[in-house]
Amino acid sequence: MSRNPRQTSSFPDAAHDAAAPAPVLSFAGVSMRYGRGQETLRGVSFSLQPGSFHFLTGPSGAGKSTLLKLIYLAARPSRGLITLFGQDLAVLPPRQLPHLRRRIGVVFQEFRLLDHLSAFDNVALPLRIAGKKPKAYRDDVAELLSWVGLGPRLHAMPATLSGGEKQRLAIARAVVSGPDILLADEPTGNVDDEMAQRILRLFVELNRQGTTVLIASHDRDLVARSGMPELRLEQGRLFDPAADSRMTPE
């Protein structure tokens, strides 16, 4: 690639640049409402180049989690166009959803660990779903758990883990299958500063290996220190700090 992907602008003009590779993800005028309520997202447009790293910031209730939900294919937009891995999601046949989802790793804000399964089984879940044989992934899962500092707790049930431990478990599950896109919703919300740095380093490492990363976070310190670009949501609108005047709210 001719330029550092992490410096790639995430705004639509980048998509018009003929030299740019096809984006992994693009939103064009995307709006989303829950049921008959108000629009939670309004006319959101941006794109992520392969191998880019962005933070998604904004006040509570701005719609960060909702935006991620649209990307990990758990909700459909009420208006606008989303393209993921070159596929227009509006016309995607449902039977192709699982295949696409396997290329996305998600760390949920509320973790969503399976309470009846051990830490080890939780991390192994995406690999099992992908049809891998236990022998083939056993050691990788153990290694990853040690890496997030859960080596001594691999047989523990989620209910017996601390908030930070659950968070690290959720992260391990999201990255275990080497996804093309990693989405993390407040992945450092429950850990101390040192662990937050470690988690960030893990994400940067994955990003270096080619994973496109999008992290929703409140943690202004973390965002500032990382030096990574930021997508800022406010009341459901994407706010471009660099090109404030260019924004054309609908």
Partner 1 sequence: MSAEAAQSFLRRWTPGPLMPRGDVRDASLVFVIAVLCFFACLAALAALAADRAAGGWAAQLQGSATVLVRPTGGESVDAAAARAAEALSGVRGVNEAVALEKDKALALLQPWLGKDALDDDLPAPRLVTLDLDPIAPASAADLGAALKAANIDATVDDHSLWIKDIVRAGAWARAAAVGVFALTALAAAAVIAHAARAVLAARHEIVEVLHVSGAEDRFIAGLLLRRFAAMAFVAGVIAAAGAGVLGAAVRLAGGGEGLTPPLPVAWIDLAALLPCPLLAAGVAALSARFSALGLLRDMSNKDWT
Interacting residues with partner 1 (CB under 8 A): 72-76, 94-95, 97-99, 101-102, 106, 112, 114, 116-118, 120-121, 124-126, 128-130, 134, 138-139, 142, 151-155
Our finding on whether 78 is near ligand ATP (CB under 6 A) is no
Residue 8 binds to Mg ion (criterion: CB under 5 A): no
Single out the residue of 9, 26, 40, 226 in contact with ligand ATP (rule: CB under 6 A): 40
Residue 98 binding partner per list ligand ATP, partner 1, Mg ion, none, with a CB distance cut-off of 5 to 8 Å that depends on partner kind: partner 1
65 binds Mg ion (CB under 5 A): yes
Q: 20, 121, 108: which is closest to 64 by C-alpha?
A: 108
**Residue 188 contacts ligand ATP per CB under 6 A:** no
Residue 61 CB, nearest approach to Mg ion (Å)? 8
* Length of the chain, in residues: 250
Residue closer to ligand ATP (CB basis): 66 or 211: 66
Q: Is 153 in the site for ligand ATP (CB under 6 A)?
A: no
DSSP code per residue over 169-238: HHHHHHHTT--SEEEEESTTTTS-HHHHHHHHHHHHHHHHTT-EEEEE---HHHHHHHT--EEEEETTEE
Strand order in the sheet with 79-84: 39-48, 25-33, 79-84, 87-88
Beta bridge partners of 247: none
- The size of the interface with ligand ATP (CB under 6 A), counted in residues, is 11
Contact residues toward ligand ATP (CB under 6 A) are: 34, 40, 58, 60-66, 109
